[in-house]
Chains A and B, each alone.
Chain A
Amino acid sequence: MAARSALLSASKIINPFLVGRPGSTVKVFGTTLTSHRNKTLLTPPPAKYGGRHTVTLIPGDGIGPELLSHVREVFRFSCVPVDFEVVNVNSALETENDINNAITAIRRNGVALKGNIETKHTMPPSVKSGNNLLRTGLDLYANVMHCQSLPGVQTRHKNIDIMIIRENTEGEYSSLEHESVSGVVESLKIITRNNSLRIADYAFKLARERGRRRVTAVHKANIMKLGDGLFLQCCKEVASGYPDITFDSMIVDNTTMQLVSKPQQFDVMVMPNLYGNVVSNVCAGLVGGPGLVPGANYGRDYAVFETATRNTGKSIADKNIANPTAMLLASCLMLDHLKLNGYASLIRNAVLTTMNETRLHTADLGGQGTTSEVVQSVMRVIQSKGQLTAEL
């Protein structure tokens, strides 16, 4: 009820602004505000109240709550015009009310920043993964992860710069399973032409925008001839429309082998859901670990930002040893998405400068720094830039 009246009042405010915009429609009683936008990366939701944006915040479990509170601290300190609407999701419950509330809140605001929601797999199979429900409910079809070697972090491989675009809604994660005979379980992997074309299109558009030269499709079409074969075919079709970008394909087991020996050969990679999981985790490990890489989930109308490897980090929760870099960089991605590029680069530079200091490295990078020390250092660097800040 509150959500619907909020939507009503919000649309009453927006209506006068959107009337002048060509080709846009507002459904007042519908659950989505749709507008016919270009197929390029979506335009951010309008800043509603006094030029300040409202973003949904889902703390999640494990290290999520503490890292997100640090993000809020940094935002408050840097006077970023973003307000957070906190939606708590209790992963111990068996009903989906919490997730539905979160989905509605994200639909209302358009953008979200979230921690990982734990999935207890001891619960019955009817209780689906909260993260998965969010992704499919909002149709966040593209998961984008940019892995870059950071100068201050020691790794075995240097000069890595890979963009991974992973199909986020279907594939092996369709959660369609049944036990046909006792002792025999079937799990369905669905690949559709529409989704494959959509993700391939997204990949090539992104590659073109960022000036990337090569897109590699990762698949296992020699074994799953129809499923991955369809995915590969869609990629090839889209590739023909982008003659300036080289397209090639690689089988997933060969890809992982090449990644651990020569990761510098990869530029942009596009793949279905499960291989995306494996490859993105391998790449995150190559550049220094789960605490360093941010991830973004884009849909046609919504965007949700989180850490790339989606770890709950239960074992290090509340111990002040988690690495806040990934979450801070994810919040910078969110600021870029909201077109607040000034604040985004301010915070990003502060985080990367802090990363160069080896004595501040947290435990996952082999150091002994604490989370709060890293955050304090980030805020000090921001203050030293001379911009408007609150008290330290």
Chain B
Amino acid sequence: MFFLRPRYSYVYRLQILILLRKLGLSISGKDKIKPQEVAGVVGALKNETTQSRTFIRGIQTVTLIPGDGIGPEISTAVMKIFEAAKAPIRWEERNVTAIRGPGGKWMIPPDAKESMDKNKIGLKGPLKTPIAAGHPSMNLLLRKTFDLYANVRPCVSIEGYKTPYTDVNLVTIRENTEGEYSGIEHVIVDGVVQSIKLITEQASKRIAEYAFEYARNNQRVSVTAVHKANIMRMSDGLFLRKCREAAEKYKDVKFTEMYLDTVCLNMVQDPTQFDVLVMPNLYGDILSDLCAGLIGGLGVTPSGNIGTNGVAIFESVHGTAPDIAGKDLANPTALLLSSVMMLRHMGLHGHAKKIETACYETIRDRKVLTKDLGGNSKCSEFTEAICQRCRDMD
């Protein structure tokens, strides 16, 4: 089905009704639709740009980067689950080991870059960080190549995987290109090292606007800017100013600002008070891992990187786990939830909900769980359980 440009309101409403019916939701009767789902669909409609074209085709192509270690196994698991859920996705597998390009600069292989530029959406498994290979980490290269400026990590408590914290439901949005990780360091004199933290107006503006846009599209109530402007007056002060300016443009989303130490203090006592957090690079690194720890660790946390020109790469943030690679013991939850994030980003909310529900229910059941979740099943058994639930849902 294809979308008309909604010129008249009745056409708009008709489109929504058709879409809702397609997604299996109805307005009247006993299946009560949550307003978030409707609004989420509307949000997807509003964000149309390139998606409308691919909807015409029907099947969307996504670049898949399996990665190293347990990467290939969990990627296969995700592909199987997508097949069982009948998601309209076609996978294009690519490898991103760095090669030396003309001029001696390290770059990712040209076929990978071409595939990403064409498809715009990517799913990535864990990549090995080279120690003495002479080239920078692959994640850094990908970030630079596609200008992935925002790292989004939604942290939601998983029922069935108990942690001391229940009811966590927050999103951390972290500026991914500058800040303390600019990599500019010098030895001034022997024994004195200076590290430069770079904050620019343009990057701060970009991330602030993305945070509010995300909050609006995902029905989040408030955005909190995390900073340390009492000490780093000019740099975090600039970041804060840009966040305030963006807040003016998005009056429907509440905006607060909080010191980094207050956020850390309150986060471990009561994480339910936070909704969307936006912050520069270093604080984002620490806080996003803190929030991942609250829900159970990196093995169950999804993550997405948003870039310019509509590029988005979704990834699992855990390591390559070389000790269990190839033994069918890996937990594909992180990559699976990242792929669900990807489906939502592409507007395929129905399939996203189906796969997510299947995953959560399998974990809640606690019958078939991988070792890190507290069970002793294999990866393939866990995958099969989720596939079965997806098939049962149809």
The interface of chain A, by Cβ under 8 A from chain B, is 119, 121, 125, 129, 132, 156-157, 172-173, 175, 177-179, 183-194, 220, 222-227, 230, 252-254, 256-261, 274-275, 277-278, 280-282, 284-286, 289-290, 309-311
A253's partner among B129, B201, B235, B285 (CB-CB below 8 A) is B285
Taking CB atoms, residues of chain A closer than 8 Å to B187 are 226
Contact B268 A183 (CB under 8 A): no
With A and B bound together, what is the CA distance between A220 and B265 in angstroms?
21
Taking CB atoms, residues of chain A closer than 8 Å to B164 are 156-157, 260-261
The interface of chain B, by Cβ under 8 A from chain A, is 129, 163-165, 180-181, 183, 185-187, 190-202, 228-235, 237-238, 260-262, 264-269, 282, 285-290, 292-294, 297-298
Known A-B contacts A172-B232, A194-B191, A281-B264; A187 and B197 likewise in contact (beta carbons under 8 Å): yes
Q: Give the distance to chain A from B232, nearest Cβ to Cβ, in Å.
A: 5
Taking CB atoms, residues of chain A closer than 8 Å to B264 are 256, 278, 281-282, 285
Contact B290 A260 (CB under 8 A): yes
Q: Give 10 A-B contacts (CB < 8 Å), ordered by A residue.
A: A119-B230, A175-B232, A183-B200, A188-B194, A220-B285, A226-B187, A226-B193, A260-B165, A260-B290, A311-B262
B180's partner among A129, A189, A281 (CB-CB below 8 A) is A189
Contact A224 B196 (CB under 8 A): no
Taking CB atoms, residues of chain A closer than 8 Å to B260 are 277-278
With A and B bound together, what is the CA distance between A188 and B232 in angstroms?
10
With A and B bound together, what is the CA distance between A194 and B191 in angstroms?
7
Taking CB atoms, residues of chain B closer than 8 Å to A119 are 230-231
Contact B294 A190 (CB under 8 A): no
Known A-B contacts A177-B234, A253-B289, A282-B264; A189 and B197 likewise in contact (beta carbons under 8 Å): yes
Known A-B contacts A156-B164, A253-B285; A125 and B231 likewise in contact (beta carbons under 8 Å): no
Taking CB atoms, residues of chain A closer than 8 Å to B238 are 185
A190's partner among B192, B237, B261 (CB-CB below 8 A) is B192
Known A-B contacts A281-B265, A285-B265; A257 and B289 likewise in contact (beta carbons under 8 Å): yes
Contact B261 A309 (CB under 8 A): yes
Taking CB atoms, residues of chain B closer than 8 Å to A257 are 289-290, 292-293, 297-298
**Closest A residue to B201 using CB positions:** A183
Taking CB atoms, residues of chain B closer than 8 Å to A226 are 185-187, 193, 195
Taking CB atoms, residues of chain B closer than 8 Å to A252 are 285-286
Q: Give the distance to chain B from A262, nearest Cβ to Cβ, in Å.
A: 10
With A and B bound together, what is the CA distance between A285 and B261 in angstroms?
10
Choose among A175, A260, A278 the residue with the greatest number of B CB atoms under 10 Å from its CB. A260
For the complex of A and B, list the 7 residue pairs with the smallest distance between their C-beta atoms, beginning with the closest.
Answer: A257-B293, A193-B191, A285-B268, A183-B201, A253-B289, A156-B164, A281-B264
Contact B290 A281 (CB under 8 A): no
**Closest A residue to B181 using CB positions:** A223
Known A-B contacts A185-B199, A253-B289; A282 and B235 likewise in contact (beta carbons under 8 Å): no
Q: Give the distance to chain A from B202, nearest Cβ to Cβ, in Å.
A: 7
**Closest A residue to B285 using CB positions:** A253
**Closest A residue to B188 using CB positions:** A190
Contact B163 A261 (CB under 8 A): yes
**Closest A residue to B238 using CB positions:** A185
Q: Give the distance to chain A from B359, nearest Cβ to Cβ, in Å.
A: 21
Q: Give the distance to chain B from A130, nearest Cβ to Cβ, in Å.
A: 10
Q: Give the distance to chain A from B141, nearest Cβ to Cβ, in Å.
A: 15
**Closest B residue to A256 using CB positions:** B290
Contact A192 B235 (CB under 8 A): no
Contact B293 A121 (CB under 8 A): no
Contact A286 B261 (CB under 8 A): no
Task: With A177-B233, A253-B285 given, name 11 new contacts (CB 8 A).
Answer: A186-B198, A187-B234, A252-B285, A257-B297, A260-B165, A260-B293, A260-B294, A261-B293, A277-B228, A278-B264, A278-B286
Taking CB atoms, residues of chain A closer than 8 Å to B181 are 223-224
With A and B bound together, what is the CA distance between A172 and B42 in angstroms?
44
Q: Give the distance to chain A from B219, nearest Cβ to Cβ, in Å.
A: 27
Taking CB atoms, residues of chain B closer than 8 Å to A278 are 260-261, 264, 286
Taking CB atoms, residues of chain B closer than 8 Å to A183 are 200-202
Q: Give the distance to chain B from A312, nearest Cβ to Cβ, in Å.
A: 10
Known A-B contacts A125-B237, A177-B233, A278-B261; A187 and B196 likewise in contact (beta carbons under 8 Å): yes
B230's partner among A129, A281, A282 (CB-CB below 8 A) is A129
Taking CB atoms, residues of chain A closer than 8 Å to B233 are 121, 125, 175, 177
Q: Give the distance to chain B from A126, nearest Cβ to Cβ, in Å.
A: 9
Taking CB atoms, residues of chain A closer than 8 Å to B289 are 253-254, 256-257
Contact B197 A186 (CB under 8 A): yes
Q: Give the distance to chain B from A246, nearest Cβ to Cβ, in Å.
A: 23
Known A-B contacts A121-B229, A256-B290, A257-B293; A185 and B234 likewise in contact (beta carbons under 8 Å): yes
Taking CB atoms, residues of chain A closer than 8 Å to B183 are 223
Q: Give the distance to chain B from A154, nearest Cβ to Cβ, in Å.
A: 11
Q: Give the distance to chain A from B35, nearest Cβ to Cβ, in Å.
A: 32
Taking CB atoms, residues of chain B closer than 8 Å to A258 are 293
With A and B bound together, what is the CA distance between A289 and B268 in angstroms?
9
Contact A189 B267 (CB under 8 A): no
Known A-B contacts A121-B237, A281-B264, A289-B265; A189 and B195 likewise in contact (beta carbons under 8 Å): yes
Known A-B contacts A286-B268, A289-B265; A185 and B165 likewise in contact (beta carbons under 8 Å): no
Taking CB atoms, residues of chain A closer than 8 Å to B196 are 186-189
Contact B195 A188 (CB under 8 A): yes
Taking CB atoms, residues of chain A closer than 8 Å to B292 are 257
Taking CB atoms, residues of chain A closer than 8 Å to B194 are 188-190, 227
Contact B192 A289 (CB under 8 A): no
Contact B297 A261 (CB under 8 A): yes
With A and B bound together, what is the CA distance between A236 and B297 in angstroms?
29
Choose among B165, B181, B193, B260 the residue with the greatest number of A CB atoms under 10 Å from its CB. B193
Choose among B202, B282, B285 the residue with the greatest number of A CB atoms under 10 Å from its CB. B282
Contact A259 B266 (CB under 8 A): no
Contact B293 A186 (CB under 8 A): no
B261's partner among A178, A259, A281 (CB-CB below 8 A) is A281
Q: Give the distance to chain A from B324, nearest Cβ to Cβ, in Å.
A: 19
Taking CB atoms, residues of chain B closer than 8 Å to A225 are 185
Contact A177 B232 (CB under 8 A): yes
With A and B bound together, what is the CA distance between A343 and B320 in angstroms?
56
Contact A173 B231 (CB under 8 A): yes
Taking CB atoms, residues of chain A closer than 8 Å to B165 are 156, 260
With A and B bound together, what is the CA distance between A179 and B187 in angstroms?
21
Contact B197 A285 (CB under 8 A): no
Taking CB atoms, residues of chain B closer than 8 Å to A286 are 268
With A and B bound together, what is the CA distance between A185 and B181 in angstroms?
14
With A and B bound together, what is the CA distance between A310 and B199 in angstroms?
26
Q: Give the distance to chain A from B200, nearest Cβ to Cβ, in Å.
A: 5
With A and B bound together, what is the CA distance between A280 and B261 in angstroms?
9
Contact B261 A230 (CB under 8 A): no
Taking CB atoms, residues of chain B closer than 8 Å to A260 are 164-165, 268, 290, 293-294
Choose among B229, B231, B290 the residue with the greatest number of A CB atoms under 10 Å from its CB. B231
With A and B bound together, what is the CA distance between A94 and B187 in angstroms?
34
Q: Give the distance to chain B from A160, nearest Cβ to Cβ, in Å.
A: 11
Taking CB atoms, residues of chain B closer than 8 Å to A188 are 194-197
Known A-B contacts A129-B230, A183-B201, A257-B297; A191 and B235 likewise in contact (beta carbons under 8 Å): no
